[in-house]
Amino acid sequence: MNIGITGTGSYIPSVITTNEDFLQHHFLDTNGSNFEHDNQVIIEKFQAITGIAERRYAPSELKTSDLGYLAAEKAIEDAGIDREELDYIIFAHNFGDLTPGKIQGDTLPSLATRVKHLLQIKNPRCVAYDMIFGCPGWVEGMIQASAFIKSGLAKKCLVIGGETLSRIVDDHDRDSMIYSDGAGAAILEGNSDSGEFLSHASETYANGEAYFLFFDKTYKNEGCPDTRYIKMHGRKIYEFACIHVPKAMKECLDSSGVDIDEVKKIFIHQANEKMDEAIIKRFYRLYGKQAPENIMPMSIHKLGNSSVATVPTLFDLVRKGELEPHEVQEGDVVIFASVGAGMNINAVVYRV
């Protein structure tokens, strides 16, 4: 059975935040002390490593579920399907709906249920649930949806990845400049005219790696000790990803039976430009080759790291010809790959 991506959509927030907007922030080290360098130097080093010059923040009136709904509407329209025929709605996120100024995430009801409500789907057999799998959540949702279709439990699925990370960052943490907001969605259908999931690989490393990304208090010693923010051990994540992601991608590609020279594009989680470049370089090195030019589309420079939203948003932009010079054509083989909190890794080889 062919299982194809028949529609995609994304919501890219309108609020642009540049690196210069962080010049007045009071960045602190993990122990609450001041950095040796001023913010201009910190920001320049940050951009050199991550590649991020701008990021998008959602307007205050929109929550993560709203972003997911807006992306889902576009995907449904793109696929040209009747929304009442959807069997599953899977929403990948990490923190639920976040309201500016409030310290709790809201996941009751699930974000997938909220999207179903906003879509006004009446069919009770359309099952809606959330996936918490770190940044690889959307890719994992696609793996689950394809398994549902392959097993005969579903014919059409909607998979969404969305996040509003700007509302869960510590303003005194320089890593706050990494995170952004957004949502992407895709429709999967069985027996589609085109498209085919060829293989997948998923792994969880939790023996020492589980808390590379974690929740903790602000770096400001006088700050509220009970409010928690997203934190990470950046160096450990970088080293972990560069070692394990290329191997998972190779395992996935090898099991697909596709030669590496047939791969047209690699859609990798937009976490850090230098890290992503190192991953792709090491992946091709495993085959004794050099990475082809333009093999890896990048959106992080203008959109930042929107966690689970990065891969579906990136694929939607390229698929619709909105990220030159990149494009995908029917029959092209692409790889989706991601790494994130858990620590989780996954990859999918897909023929467009």
For the residues 18-28, what does the mean pLDDT come to? 92
User: Side-chain half-sphere of 248: how many Cα atoms within 13 Å?
Assistant: 25
DSSP 255-273: HHT--GGGEEEEEE--S-H
Residue 280 has pLDDT above 70, yes or no: yes
Two tokens, residue 63: 């929550």
Q: How many CB atoms lie within 10 A of CB 273?
A: 18
Residues in contact with 3: Cβ distance below 8 Å, sequence separation at least 6, in sequence order: 146, 149, 150, 188, 189, 190, 192, 195, 196, 197
Two tokens, residue 267: 């859609």
**pLDDT tens string 33-66:** 888 888 999 999 999 999 999 999 999 999 999 9
Percent of the chain with pLDDT over 70: 100
Contact yes or no for 266/334 (Cβ under 8 A): yes
Q: How many CB atoms lie within 10 A of CB 235?
A: 9
**pLDDT tens string 299-351:** 999 999 999 999 999 999 999 999 989 999 999 999 999 999 999 999 999 99
Sheet containing 156-164: order of strands = 3-11, 181-190, 156-164, 88-92, 127-131
Helix (H, G, I), strand (E, B) or coil at 194: coil
What is the spatial distance between Cα 182 and Cα 84, in angstroms, rounded to a whole number? 25
Strand partners, 34: 28
For the residues 252-262, what does the mean pLDDT come to? 96
pLDDT band at 2 (very low <50, low <70, confident <90, very high): confident
Does an H or E element contain 29, and which?
none
Residue with tokens 């099991």: 255
Residue with tokens 């509302």: 167
Q: Which of 30-34, 140-144, 239-243, 299-303 has the lowest mean pLDDT?
A: 30-34
Give the number of residues written for the chain: 352
Percent of the chain with pLDDT over 90: 86
User: Side-chain half-sphere of 345: how many Cα atoms within 13 Å?
Assistant: 22
pLDDT at 193: 74
pLDDT at 273: 93
Residue with tokens 């230098």: 274
Q: Which of 90-94, 171-175, 220-224, 333-337 has the lowest mean pLDDT?
A: 220-224
What is the spatial distance between Cα 253 and Cα 342, in angstroms, rounded to a whole number? 23
Residue 90 belongs to a domain with what CATH number? 3.40.47.10
Q: How many domains does the chain have?
A: 1
Burial tier of 178 (Cβ tally within 10 Å: 0-12, 13-18, 19+): buried
Residues in contact with 39: Cβ distance below 8 Å, sequence separation at least 6, in sequence order: 22, 23, 24, 25, 27
Query: Phi/psi of residue 150, each to 5°?
Result: -60, -35
**pLDDT tens string 335-347:** 999 999 999 999 9
pLDDT at 36: 84
Residue 191 has pLDDT above 90, yes or no: no
pLDDT at 192: 65
Alpha-carbon distances of 349 from 18, 192, 197, 278, 285, rounded to whole Å: 34, 17, 6, 20, 18
**pLDDT tens string 193-213:** 778 999 999 999 999 999 999
Two tokens, residue 300: 């992080």
Helix (H, G, I), strand (E, B) or coil at 295: coil
Residue 118 has pLDDT above 90, yes or no: yes
Two tokens, residue 329: 């054509």
- Whose CA is closest to 178, among 349, 42, 41? 42
18/223: higher pLDDT: 18
Instruction: Residue 128: give the domain boundaries.
Output: 1-352
Contact yes or no for 64/253 (Cβ under 8 A): no
